[in-house]
A and B are shown apart, each in its own frame.
Chain A
Amino acid sequence: MIAQFGYGVLVLAFLMALFAAGASVYGYFYGSQPWVESGRRAMLLTFPLITVSALTIIYLLVNNHFEVDFVYSVTSREMPLYLKVTALWGGQAGSLLFWGWLMSAFATAVALRKWDRDREFLPWVVFTCCVTLAFFIGLVVFYENPFARYWATLSGEVTKAMWQPAGSALFTPPDGQGLNPLLRHLGMIIHPPMLYLGFVSFTIPYAFAIAALVTGRTDDRWIRITRRWTLVAWLFLSLGLVLGSRWAYDVLGWGGFWGWDPVEIAAFMPFLTGTAFLHSVMIQEKRGLFKHWNMLLIILTYALVIFGTFLTRSGVLSSVHAFAQSAIGPSFFIFIGVTFVSSAALLIYRWGSLQSETTMTSWLSREGLFLLNNLLFISILVVCFLGVIAPLISELFTGQKITVGPPWYNRTTGPLFAGLLLLMGVAPLSAWGIASYKTLGGAIWKPSIAAAVLVVLTAIYGYTSPLAILGFFLIYLVACVTLFEFWRAARARGRSTGEGFFQALWRLLGRNRRRYGGYVIHLGVVCMALGIIGISMFQLQTQKSLAVGESLELAGYTVRYDSLAQFPYEDGRSVNRVVLSIFKDGRFVRELYPRFDVYPSGEPSTIPGLYSTLAGDLYVVLVNWEGVSTASAPLKVYYNPLVSWLWLGAFVFIFGTLIAAWPDPEPEYESARVRARQARSQPSAAD
């Protein structure tokens, strides 16, 4: 009954989304405002409908309704409540419904904004959002139904269906399979929502871009409207990627955070075009250039968002031939094809109206450097795309499966990322329009010297490989240039307004949030780059089986096997927990407790023992497939230099985005404050 209710509400939402799309477009072509308004309201209505449907699934999940196939596959009785709720996105069907729910939430937020100044955009924004929404809800309604239940015939055959087949009765398994233990980690609980938030919220700038193309209002109005949306979307996507990396680091037990797995790359590709877009729109706002680029970048971002969801969910990556077995694969493929081709056709149709307002005069001007920025991001995108589809193409055309792994990716994208770092260091010093080697050279030699000094200091700590030295130099260059920019601007402001340095710095952040927020984000990025270089180029590892009392050495640390505890836990898993003592240069540092758990379903999960410092992480895992005992505990130990900077950088990143996205006070209020402050500081002048 409840399952049928949830499904019915979802079907209603699907029809509502289709209606909204149709009504708004009808209203546009027939110049009928009431129809457009009807479309907008229908879009608003999808949100409560899908919410009710999602709540229904959550109700079924929490109350152990194992006759529902989805509930059976992702929950079990022993799971705690919060895991049962978050199991909504622990499986295919629920995940797609969750995507749809987020899409309707964002569509609602867009529908509720003030549309007075942009009435012409409304029909097409509603259309684009609702077509996307209808697609995902449609997938759930027709192909991946979380409300389907088990039916048993008299002969004992069990089938899965939404409606009761003739001659069968409802079948309720006694317990569910339970959530894959790898997913029972805080990072993995937040990672899908974050990533989906990023994916979904990039649909909004795309919707406005389509609206701009259709209506012909291709000036920067659509960019100004979506400025904050893009920033927030980008933040969520970045956080989703970072959380996924942290999960891989904590739970997968191979000592790394990024394996260039196609599923990881699937989420990374829209991040690349999204970041390029974020930067490129600034040039359109300031100089009226790159209009074609911006349209292309946002169209690509949307296509890659859907493509990323497709790659992860359709099974195409395990085999080209497997993907056609579920109807999801072809549906995604067709949807991406249709939307990409129509968007491209629109862009070509409006190509002429996207002419630049000024011209770029020098490669070293800010515009020129941003153009190089776009080129580099697109190149990295091409590399990633090539690496992901090469195995598929190879299998399709030659029948031979190949693997494109980290060595190829690192070698091919490494120089491109280095180029991006260099741009991060040089661009803040560049000027609009005019530039020459002399002007840039004059600005950059001081930070370069400072960076070189820091590189020498770093090399003393043992980081001496030439590529790493280059990487460190670029990182320090960006840090020095960025910090120098802050210092210089705060000093200049302090001099002119008489404020103290820190007060000037604070006011500065408030006056130009986008620029200084952006610089803080760049500082976050270089911290992350530091961590990435450390762990990628200087990781040390060793594996050894120890008996109690024995120890092994790595990177100056001694790891001693003290004791073993093997016991069952309350949720039915059997735990193997090893106690290790860590010594550095003979001095006791702390104990670590790596674990190997086996769940009732037979699935294992390794939890590493982790000792983190800014200089590096000592990471110990039990490699249990060889069996753990007091006579022999097979341990794998990694030393990951500088990796904590990666996670720290993420926090700086978030802080920077908050600064950049913080709403500015109203202009009238702002000028009143300025006048009041001036009056206070110069009482004589006010007379």
Chain B
Amino acid sequence: MKKRILWLILLAAGVAGVWAVLATSTTLAAGRAQKATPSDDEVNAIARQLYCPVCENIPLDVCPTQACAQWRALIREKLAAGWTEQQIKDYFVEQYGVRVLNEPPHQGWNWLIYVLPAFFLIGGAILLFRLFRSWKPPVPDAQSQETLQSEPPTGADEYLKRFEEEADKRK
């Protein structure tokens, strides 16, 4: 029984670890060679990861305003000048604040946003598990079942046999 719990904890830790790693991974910056005129797709690939600095929750690649059109043109210019994706994103952050990024930067209090969900899930699971342990029927239940049984289970009585096995494990 203890061994199973240890395996479960290990599994849970493994899942949480993988989840935490995925949750904190950043997108790989793609270096771009100097181009004559960057295509719309190349501009959008970066614009898609940014949010309009003035509109409410609208990604930069779909924002219909004049201002956003100018910002996309700015991205195109910088790409043509050889800037990398990360450099362009940093430039926007410098100019307009971290709200232009589609995720909070991994600094300071913002770490909470990345870490709290895992904490809550694991904390909740641990809490429930401990509550469950305190609910389990006391051993006398299984024992009284045994004493009430006047004859050993027949071969055909699969379910009862399995129940006995489980009850034995929990003694």
Contact = CB atoms under 8 A, between A and B. Distances in A.
Nearest to B99: A401
Interface string A46-62: 00000000000000000
Contacts of A416: 121
B19 A415 contact: yes
A262 B57 contact: yes
A5 interface: no
Contacts of A624: 64
B10 interface: no
A684 interface: no
B59 interface: yes
Interface stretch (A36-44, A295-303, A538-546, A656-664): A538-546
Given A360-B132, A402-B99, A541-B44, A386 B62 contact: no
A317 B136 contact: no
Contacts of A387: 113
B135 A403 contact: no
Interface residues of B, number: 45
A378 B163 contact: no
B39 A544 contact: yes
B17 to A, nearest CB: 12
Interface in A480-510: none
A464 interface: no
A340 interface: no
Given A407-B102, A411-B22, A543-B44, A383 B117 contact: yes
A571 interface: no
B101 interface: yes
B162 interface: yes
Interface in A362-379: 363, 368, 371, 375, 378-379
B160 to A, nearest CB: 10
B59 A254 contact: yes
A404 B128 contact: no
A359 B137 contact: yes
Contacts of B144: none
A356 B136 CA distance: 12
B25 to A, nearest CB: 8
B97 interface: yes
Given A359-B136, A405-B102, A416-B121, A626 B69 contact: yes
A386 B116 contact: yes
Interface stretch (B80-88, B103-111, B148-156): B103-111
B157 interface: no
Contact of A412 (B23, B128, B163): B23
B111 to A, nearest CB: 12
B56 interface: yes
Nearest to B44: A543
Contact of A401 (B19, B97, B166): B97
A359 B135 contact: yes
A625 B98 contact: no
Contacts of B113: 386-387, 390, 404, 408
A363 B166 CA distance: 14
B94 interface: no
A412 B98 contact: no
B66 interface: yes
Given A398-B109, A402-B99, A543 B57 contact: no
Nearest to A383: B117
A681 interface: no
Contacts of B109: 394, 397-398
B27 to A, nearest CB: 8
A550 interface: no
A259 interface: yes
A682 interface: no
A322 B116 CA distance: 28
Contact of B64 (A378, A401, A403, A625): A625
Contact of A382 (B39, B104, B120): B120
Interface in B27-63: 27, 39-41, 44, 51, 56-57, 59, 62
Given A404-B104, A544-B40, A261 B57 contact: yes
Nearest to A634: B40
Nearest to A439: B162
Given A386-B116, A386-B117, A543-B40, A436 B166 contact: yes
B125 interface: yes
A88 to B, nearest CB: 25
Contacts of B22: 411
Nearest to A596: B64
A436 B162 contact: yes
Contacts of A325: none
B100 interface: yes
Most chain-B Cβ atoms within 10 A of its Cβ — which of A259, A368, A400, A416?
Answer: A400
B62 A545 contact: no
Nearest to B101: A403
B14 interface: no
B112 to A, nearest CB: 8
Contacts of B69: 625-626
Given A254-B59, A360-B135, A626-B69, A407 B103 contact: yes
Given A390-B104, A404-B103, A545 B40 contact: yes
B14 to A, nearest CB: 12
Contacts of A412: 23, 117
Most chain-A Cβ atoms within 10 A of its Cβ — which of B62, B66, B98, B101?
Answer: B62
B23 A434 contact: no
A261 B62 CA distance: 14
A184 to B, nearest CB: 17
Contacts of B51: 403, 405
A442 to B, nearest CB: 11
Contacts of B162: 434, 436, 438-439
A178 interface: no
A155 interface: no
Contacts of A382: 116-117, 120
A226 B29 CA distance: 53
Contact of B124 (A318, A375, A390, A411): A375
B103 A361 contact: no
B137 A405 contact: no
A212 B125 CA distance: 29
B104 A402 contact: yes
A286 B19 CA distance: 35
Nearest to A414: B22
A394 B128 CA distance: 31
Interface of A: 252-254, 259, 261-262, 317-318, 356, 359-361, 363, 368, 371, 375, 378-379, 382-383, 386-387, 390-391, 394, 397-398, 400-408, 411-412, 415-416, 434, 436, 438-439, 541-545, 604, 606, 623-626, 634
10 contacts: A371-B132, A375-B125, A379-B117, A391-B99, A401-B99, A402-B99, A403-B102, A408-B104, A408-B114, A604-B64
Given A360-B135, A408-B102, 11 more contacts: A259-B59, A361-B137, A379-B120, A394-B109, A397-B109, A404-B113, A407-B102, A415-B19, A416-B121, A438-B162, A543-B41
Q: Which 10 A-B pairs have the closest CB atoms?
A: A405-B102, A543-B40, A254-B62, A401-B99, A402-B104, A379-B121, A359-B135, A383-B117, A408-B103, A403-B99
